[in-house]
Amino acid sequence: MSEIRIPEGMPQLKSDRAFDPEKDLQLEQPERVWELKDFGYTQQQQDKAPFTIAVTTPFRLLSDKGVETLREIIAELAAFRRQSERMANYIRGSLYYSEFLRGFCALEEVNDFISKLSGRTVRPHPMTLYQGHINLKPEDPSKEVDRWHTDTVLLDYVLMVTDPKSFKGGHFEYFQSTKAEAIRSLIKEDGLPNVVKVEFPKAGYALLQQGNKVVHRANRVEAGNERTTLVQSFVPRDANYIDVSKLNDCKKVDPPEYLFTEWARYKSLLAAEKLQQLTASLPYTTDKGEISHQLRAAIRDVEEAIFELNDPSEGALVHFSDDPLTGLLPEG
Ligand SMILES: [Fe+2]
């Protein structure tokens, strides 16, 4: 049921067309895959994490032709750009508008590729708003594209859409250390050790990261007219994972007229799949406590969604840049 639904009245883009894997896709393996253990995560932390991967080196994902069409589509989508305290200039819900992006983001070949790299079968994030997120160059040049943070999604790739030779600065950077260690470094500001500055060879290259475990940012753009990336998010194919995303993370980022329905659909999907599993696996037993426990666990996502939808707070998307302690989350 996780197929995309498009809200009514979405405008059509002039540059849009169907995604053609023959022409637009160019998948190549990354040189290196770093795992959580390479970042200093303990065995216990690795065991609790949904994926073993930390981050890859850049790998080719789109052909030159694919990049060309994507840039034309994003130029039109810029009319729908938004600003937030953390992300300076961005577009959400790009799949609502573009057949090309819907085709690209749903491609089975890419999904298989990401599954192999991450070590677990994945699917595109069931919330359309979490797919095809686009970061644009900030209109205020003093602002970072995206401040130090970990993602509220579990796994995502960052695709460079602009020729990296056409702008200065704007590097994607990450700490090659645990989240706790990165935050300690940000608090002490003692030279920020272990920061890796990623060099994308050209447009069409992407890196894959377990974004909730890797503290990263996209730095200020010092020169150039364009610096665009597309972020595509994935979740494990099975519903048996701890979902780190919270409705509060999205309230200041996404249009509420799409967000609330998407949130409810996502949580319903997880619960439906867990209930389906339960119907197949629940043992014959007189242990009413155990049956109740399993029933409650299966519908927990829906209970949480109702609770979050009725929380009147404005929401906040955390980052570590000003006060790292405010963004300190447990490393479950
Ligand atoms: Fe991120």
CB 148 within 8 A of CB 221: no
The Å distance, Cα 91 to ligand 1 centre, comes to: 14
The Å distance, Cα 12 to ligand 1 centre, comes to: 28
Query: What DSSP line would sit under 157-222, residue for residue?
Result: EEEE-S-GGGSEE--EEEESS-HHHHHHHHHHTSS-TTEEEE--SSTTEEEEE-TTTS-EEE--EE
Task: For 119-155, give the secondary structure using H, E and C.
Answer: CCCEEECCCHHHCCEEECCCCCCCCCCEEEECCCCCE
The Å distance, Cα 295 to ligand 1 centre, comes to: 34
The Å distance, Cα 149 to ligand 1 centre, comes to: 6
Rounded Cα gap, residues 310 and 305, in angstroms: 9
Rounded Cα gap, residues 138 and 227, in angstroms: 9
* Residue in 17, 116, 106 with CA at minimum distance from that of residue 66: 17
The Å distance, Cα 281 to ligand 1 centre, comes to: 37
For 273, the token pair is: 């799949």
The Å distance, Cα 216 to ligand 1 centre, comes to: 6
The Å distance, Cα 96 to ligand 1 centre, comes to: 21
If phi > 0 it is left, if psi is from -120 to 50 it is alpha, else beta; for residue 250 that is: alpha
CB 291 within 8 A of CB 285: yes
For 146, the token pair is: 């995206």
CB 36 within 8 A of CB 46: yes
Residue whose pair of structure tokens reads 């032709």 in the numeric block:
65
CATH superfamily of 21-243: q2cbj1_9rhob like domain (2.60.120.620)
The pLDDT value recorded for residue 303 is: 96
The pLDDT value recorded for residue 138 is: 87
Residue whose pair of structure tokens reads 């065991």 in the numeric block:
47
What's the predicted TM-score (pTM) here?
A: 0.92
Rounded Cα gap, residues 275 and 269, in angstroms: 10
Q: 165 — phi, psi (to 5°)?
A: -80, -10
Q: What is the pLDDT of residues 194-224, one digit of tens each?
A: 899 999 999 999 999 999 999 999 989 999 9
- CA atoms in the 13 A half-sphere facing the CB of 195: 18
Torsion angle of C-alpha atoms 17, 22, 26, 27, degrees rounded to 10: 110
Structural domain spans, the chain: 21-243
What angle, rounded to 10 degrees, do the helices at 256-281 and 288-309 form?
170
Report residues of the chain scoring pLDDT below 70. 1-2, 189-192, 317-332
The Å distance, Cα 151 to ligand 1 centre, comes to: 5
Cβ contacts of 197 within 8 Å, gap of 6 or more: 171, 172, 173
The pLDDT value recorded for residue 142 is: 84
